[in-house]
Amino acid sequence: MSLSCRMGGLLSGAPPEQVKAMTRFGYYLGMAFQITDDILDYVADEEVLGKPVGSDIRQGIITLPALYALHQSGYRRELSAMISSPQRCREEAERIVQLVVESGGVEFAYDVALAYVRKAEARLALLPDVPARRTLGALASFIASRDH
């Protein structure tokens, strides 16, 4: 996302400070998007998500909500034992999801995602008020409002 936004700035002939703002915007927006995608793996409806809830965990992919739960909750021993085993990740994915949600991992990750959206929006404020900027702002708002 960062590179795409940077290229947009470069190809439009924007001055260096605006290219830098676009690059940072893309980075922050990309981070927010990925974190919200990680959150959805814990809480979204399977029909909306297009894959089973806990799909990342089943594959052994440990994302921010689980990392938070591993380090900040009373479930750390139980989670650590399950997450450290690929087999247990597959077999106990539902329990892992439950513990991550109960630990506040989803809320923590959502707060981090919103912080990235705010940083992205701050970079947009450095750009001229043109339709493309408004579209990028709407994209940031969409990411901030994804169901969690």
Say whether pLDDT at 146 is over 80.
no
pTM for the whole structure: 0.89
Number of CB atoms found within 10 A of residue 6's CB? 19
Output the pLDDT for position 137: 94
Say whether pLDDT at 60 is over 60.
yes
Say whether pLDDT at 33 is over 90.
yes
Average pLDDT, the chain: 92
pLDDT band at 45 (very low <50, low <70, confident <90, very high): confident
Number of CB atoms found within 10 A of residue 101's CB? 16
Average pLDDT over residues 59-73: 92
Say whether pLDDT at 98 is over 70.
yes
Average pLDDT over residues 61-73: 92
